[in-house]
Structure 1
Amino acid sequence: MDESELVKQFHELAELAGSLAHEIKNPLSVIHMNADLLSEELSDFDWPGRRRAEAKVDMIRQQCQRMEHLLRDFLRYAGMRDLEMTPGDLNEQVDTVLRLYQAQADKSNIDVLRYLDTDLPSILLHSDSLQGALINLVKNAFESMEDGGEFVVRTYTTPRGVALDLIDTGCGMDDGTAIHMFEPFYSTKNGGSGLGLPTARKIIEAHGGRISVQSEMGRGTKFMLEFPTPARIS
């Protein structure tokens, strides 16, 4: 089988998986809704087995919610193709995401240090998806700093384009975790879908960019993102 046939089969399988996920989503929503209604009805009556029944219904609701989140993340991961790009400012995308997390930073004693190059050239970007990737990365950084710390955000130009560094002083990760962290469904978090970082990478690659990571246990993690700068919009 030649390469073109393999690529065709891969795309067909991806489309089938996306369609299947959509089909699962609908009955799952119905199950979740009826579990909510059943929980309300159980609370209206007092009988010997009520608490056991409520606990079982709560378990169904929790698992429905977990599956809904997994399907949402999977559909987002599977849908990162053919994004409509327009010229934009990477600094603006970064600033928007950091403002979303400022309240959490204050609450968690995290100092956010911005070093954004004001002369940064424009890049081609899709605002919603790129912000989604940055949100995933900032969220992971904040979660790694349970006792507070510093989060350094830096943009600058490189010989190949525009770069963004995200550096935290969190718990860091070992080599085994760093190697697998961009693999779909790999997660070290309890209840995590394992699609957050793979989706972020897929979004960045859809922008023609690349992402790399350096991490050390007990010292922190650095993500570096680099995007090409087309000459026509420099």
Structure 2
Amino acid sequence: MTPSDSGSEAEAAAEKPVPQPPSPSPDGRGGRDGAADAPRAEPSRAEPSRAETARVEADDQFAFLSRLAGGLAHEIKNPLSTMAINLALLQEDWERVAAQRSADVPLPPREQRTLKRVTTLQREVQRLETIVQDFLDFVRGAAVNRRPQNIGAIVQEVLDFVEPENDQAGVRQRTDIVFGLPLVLVDEAQIKQALLNLLINARQAMPTGGEILVRVRRVGNDAEVSITDTGIGMTPTQVERCFDVYWSNKKGGTGLGLSTTRRIVEEHGGSIHVITEQGRGTSFLVCLPLAVELTGDNRSEVQVDPTEPRTFDVEARERRLDGAGEDDERA
């Protein structure tokens, strides 16, 4: 190779462009023409939200409970039924002995204690049977038989059912029910069960008595049922966990009432929300889609003001409702 040849090659090498890594194109795929000219890292996926994570955990928990249901039915429920039958027979024997005695000769104290213990055992067996049945009903669910129903009439029937117990507990019922709403497509028995759970929960939140305000109205294309108590309210932890399966802060509670209610509502395409303030009360809002979508003049949506102090001052809220009714009459 001559010096001149070497110089020519050096000049050619200097003029030859040095390869550069592909720069990102405007579309973000790399390469000058948008093609992927080089391996690239997969785009990072967004972390699942807390709600999504909770829902996945709830689904896994539900699947696990479902697998346990069959075993529970055989291993627990059947022996409990046998115990209940034998305790009933034992109670009959002791009552027969007591009946054979004259009215002036009561049972000896020892026999009275025995009969009392039998009664206590019967009550506890019945409680355990209820817990097991509630558990089985929850994990198995039930066939949904949806039909167009008047949600206002359903709510009123459930209120009539719980009114005697509420009276005994010193709980007064107040209502604001719009009966002329469009129908909702629901399984009547299941929705009644969901509402019953909420009403029982409201009563239990007021151990010294109080008031329950039940309101049915239309909000957009949903029928909203709100159940408000004037009880002790809920802590943030209780609000976060109240729909969890088998979680309860009540003595003797099964922890299935609210979780069952949420499952029923969501199976009907609805939603359930909690509004609470400690020391003043709690509202549960159930929203169910209307069976028909109205258009034109008949579509009258109710706008909800998120700043409204919702549901805790029962008397103030009733005054607002009464005022709205008077305005309607004047119109």
Which TM-score band (shorter chain)?
Answer: 0.7 to 0.9
CA distance in structure 1 between the aligned counterparts of 2:201 and 2:274, rounded to whole angstroms: 13
Q: Is the 8 A contact 2:216 2:226 kept in 1?
A: yes
Q: Is the 8 A contact 2:66 2:140 kept in 1?
A: no
Quote the residue 1:6 is aligned against. Answer: none
Q: Is the 8 A contact 2:150 2:179 kept in 1?
A: no
Higher RCO, Cα 8 Å, sep 6+: 1
Partner SS, residue 182 of structure 2:
coil
Quote the residue 2:68 is aligned against. Answer: 17
- Residues 53 and 150 from structure 1, CA distance in 2 versus in 1: closer, same or farther, beyond 3 angstroms? closer
Q: Structure 1 or 2: larger strand share?
A: 1
- Residues 11 and 99 from structure 1, CA distance in 2 versus in 1: closer, same or farther, beyond 3 angstroms? closer
Quote the residue 1:32 is aligned against. Answer: 84
Gaps of 5+ in 1: 1-8
CA distance in structure 1 between the aligned counterparts of 2:120 and 2:168, rounded to whole angstroms: 31
Aligned partner of 1:226: which letter? C
Between 94-103 and 144-153, report the one with greater CA deviation: 144-153
1:179 to 237, 240, 243: 240
The alignment yields a C-alpha RMSD, in angstroms, of 3.0
Partner SS, residue 231 of structure 1:
coil
Quote the residue 2:131 is aligned against. Answer: 70
Quote the residue 1:104 is aligned against. Answer: 165
Report the alpha carbon displacement of residue 57 of structure 1 after superposing the two structures with TM.
5.0
Partner SS, residue 119 of structure 1:
coil
Q: Is the 8 A contact 1:87 1:233 kept in 2?
A: no
Report the alpha carbon displacement of residue 36 of structure 1 after superposing the two structures with TM.
3.1
Q: Find out whether 1:215 has 2:215 as its counterpart.
A: no
Quote the residue 1:159 is aligned against. Answer: 220
Q: Is the 8 A contact 1:122 1:233 kept in 2?
A: no
Quote the residue 1:204 is aligned against. Answer: 265
Q: Max radius of gyration: which structure?
A: 2
Report the alpha carbon displacement of residue 77 of structure 1 after superposing the two structures with TM.
1.1
- Residues 52 and 111 from structure 1, CA distance in 2 versus in 1: closer, same or farther, beyond 3 angstroms? closer
1:102-129 Cα offsets, whole Å, 9 max, x none, are 2233344433221112331111111111
Report the alpha carbon displacement of residue 166 of structure 1 after superposing the two structures with TM.
0.9
Report the alpha carbon displacement of residue 230 of structure 1 after superposing the two structures with TM.
3.8
